[in-house]
Amino acid sequence: SPYKPLAAASLAPAARRTLTRLSPASRLDVLEGAGVHAYPGLSLNAGIAPPEQAALYIDGDGPSPITPLDPDDPAAARIASYMPSTIAYLLRPGATSLILDPGSGLDPLLALAAGASPVWIPSDEPLVVSVLRQEYRGFSLDLLADPRLTVLPRSSRGSLRAGEVQYDVVHFALSDSYHPVTSGAFSLTEDYLLTREALGDAIRAAQPDGILVITRWLQTPPSEDARAFATVLSALRAAGVDDPSTHLLAFRSMRTATILAALKPFSSEELGVVRRFLESGGYDPIVMPGLRPEDLNRFNRIPLDEYHALYTSLLDDPSGTIADYDFNLRPATDDRPFFFHFFRWRQTPRVLARLGQTWQPFGGSGYLVLLALAGLMLVLAIPFILVPLALLRRRPARVSRTSLGRPARPLLYFACLGAGYLLVEIPLIQHLNLLLDRPVLGLATVLFSILLASGVGSLLSPKISLRASLLCLVACIGLTALVLPGVARAALPLSILGRLGIATALIAPVGVLMGIPFAAGLRRLERDRPGLIPWAWAVNGAVSGLSGVLTALVALDWGHTAALGLGAAAYAIAFVTLPGGGTSKARK
């Protein structure tokens, strides 16, 4: 795409693409000579010229920098001393560290240079690990072979639950590229690493005196950084911290905000270390214990320091502040993992007013893109529903009015089946993405298992009561919605085979039961109203297409469990509107 960062970086005069690798899940490209110096949050006081990096892009997004520095090189230690996350390693010298979302190795390199040892990193993208061990082993100075560094064979979220080690520092690295709040459809992406439950897992993975450090891009007005702060605050309260103000501090550079959360209150000595670090690095405090008004907005000056006011308000009244703020800062959860979804309906007038004035609409308008898509699907669905009726009514010789009868109830039945199937299938895919680490594996597992199970259900449908199967299906969906989130989190430490087995066991009963109603309903129509069969197919297909979009809208605002609940409701309505009577067995 010409709009991806890879395409833009390729326009640099000296840029050359040195590598392209493909996998079933992603595409990896590396550029050299593009003038990349990606050190997020590097202090303006550093006074050094960091080395140019190779730029790695996944599916055109990036850059994720590959840095040609040895951790033991004094230049690496100098750069590390002016990076915001280094404060965690000053507070915990020689820290045992887990670095989440490590990208192409910049943060592990700087952690080692800052004295952390040992350091664990997950393998979120196997292609990146492969490139650093093979084609770019020399360029990265064999970083992954450093004896102080261990690569875990899991994603970042899986590593939080899979390890038996407790860490002095759990570091949520800033490895994704900057996306302004106006990034439209990017707001629809899931991120299971920035949820309240993920922060809770990080707290449990840390030592009793451990530190969590999170760096996010600074937005104006505050959005991404503020939601990260609200999420950390919520996780601390859930962990039993009554007064988070003594456990939290945050500061900003020109473009990033860094949040530190200590599991024990910061001591006066630790706060002294923090103040000296902020002073030497030219970082501005946002919130911290003992903060004075004259400490604010000194180095990276802005006309109005919205960050301090907002963070302080979140500490004092989180629920009221989130309710009143222009952007949606409600902490993301595993059930609603859309960290970058900031849209609120009150933004709609501004979004519409700016249409055509910028290349991207304002305020996370990916939500409005979904609404427009839903409208388009509805416009396309109406002909599929009405045209079959017109055709059938014009052919009285072949299709009698008796065979059509009153179509409302049976067609509502098939519409509910179409809506219910997608309202169940899509949330299952999303929940199992967390369990199986990789979205492509979650998608393949759910699609294969649910379609196979539904086929089995269709084969068994002549022998099973349709009414009983629908009642069991509604109960089964409800039970799955209750147990799936907890089971997915509890099973994260298991091997991939164990997690695949659990995923299949969760999917199979629902899949078999969802395969029964459609086949059994068609047999009833064939017996009683054969003229409605083409129309039933049309209604089911049209509503299925529309419900896929509606499922995404429901999940964004109310979560995947709510979508599963609507799926159960759709099948309950189907039970009420069963076509015909008697058993589901076909009559010869």
Per domain, the residue ranges of the chain are: 68-324, 366-576
- Is residue 365's pLDDT more than 80? no
**Cα 347 from Cα 365, distance rounded (Å):** 9
Selection from 416, 429, 419, 421 nearest residue 506 by Cα: 429
Locus of tokens 């509606």: 550
Answer whether residue 17 shows pLDDT above 70: yes
Q: What share of the chain has pLDDT > 70, as a percent? A: 91
Residue 280 structure tokens: 């030497």
What is the rounded average pLDDT of the residues 383-400?
62
Which among 426, 441, 434, 439 is positioned nearest to 570, based on CA atoms?
426
Q: Which is more confident, 266 or 350? A: 266
pLDDT value for 583: 40
- Between CA 71 and CA 68 the distance in angstroms is 10
The pairing of beta strand 61-66 with beta strand 53-58: antiparallel
Q: Is the pLDDT of residue 137 over 80?
A: yes
Between 397-411, 423-437, 449-463, the lowest mean confidence (pLDDT) is in 397-411
Residue 455 reports pLDDT greater than 90? yes
> Which residues make Cβ contacts (< 8 Å) with residue 495, sequence separation at least 6?
none
Asked if residue 15 has pLDDT above 80, the reply is yes
Q: Which DSSP category does 164 fall into?
A: -
The neighbour count for residue 17, using CB atoms within 10 Å, is: 16
Per-residue pLDDT, 377: 84
As a whole number, mean pLDDT of residues 7-18 equals 91
Burial code (b: 16+ CB inside 10 Å, e: under 16) for 507-522 equals bbbbbbbbbbbbbbbb
With a pLDDT cut of 90, the percent of the chain lying above it is 60
Rounded mean pLDDT of 197-214?
A: 94
**pTM as predicted:** 0.89
Note whether 68-324 and 366-576 share their fold. Answer: no
Q: Beta-strand (E) ranges in 194-255?
A: 206-217, 248-252
pLDDT band at 582 (very low <50, low <70, confident <90, very high): very low
- Residue 286, pLDDT > 70, answer yes
Lowest mean pLDDT of 288-297, 350-359, 440-449, name the range: 350-359
**Alpha helix positions (H), 27-105:** 74-80, 86-91
Average pLDDT, integer, range 454-477: 94
Q: According to the model, what pLDDT value does residue 392 have? A: 61
- Can you give the pLDDT at residue 77? 95
The DSSP output letter for 221 is S
Query: Over 80: is that where the pLDDT of 367 sits?
Result: no
Q: Which residue has the tokens 């952690």?
A: 111
| pLDDT tens per residue across span 78-97 | 999 999 999 999 999 999 99
Q: How many CB atoms lie within 10 A of CB 158?
A: 26
Collapsed DSSP state (helix, strand, coil) of residue 179? coil
In three-state secondary structure terms, 95 is coil
Orientation angle between helical segments 196-205 and 224-238, nearest 10 degrees: 60
Query: What is the CATH T-level fold of the domain 366-576, as seen in this structure?
Result: Growth Hormone; Chain: A; (1.20.1250)
Q: What is the CATH number of domain 68-324?
A: 3.40.50.150
Predicted confidence at residue 41, as pLDDT, reads: 93
The rounded mean pLDDT for the chain is 88
Lowest model confidence (mean pLDDT) among 66-75, 231-240, 437-446: 437-446
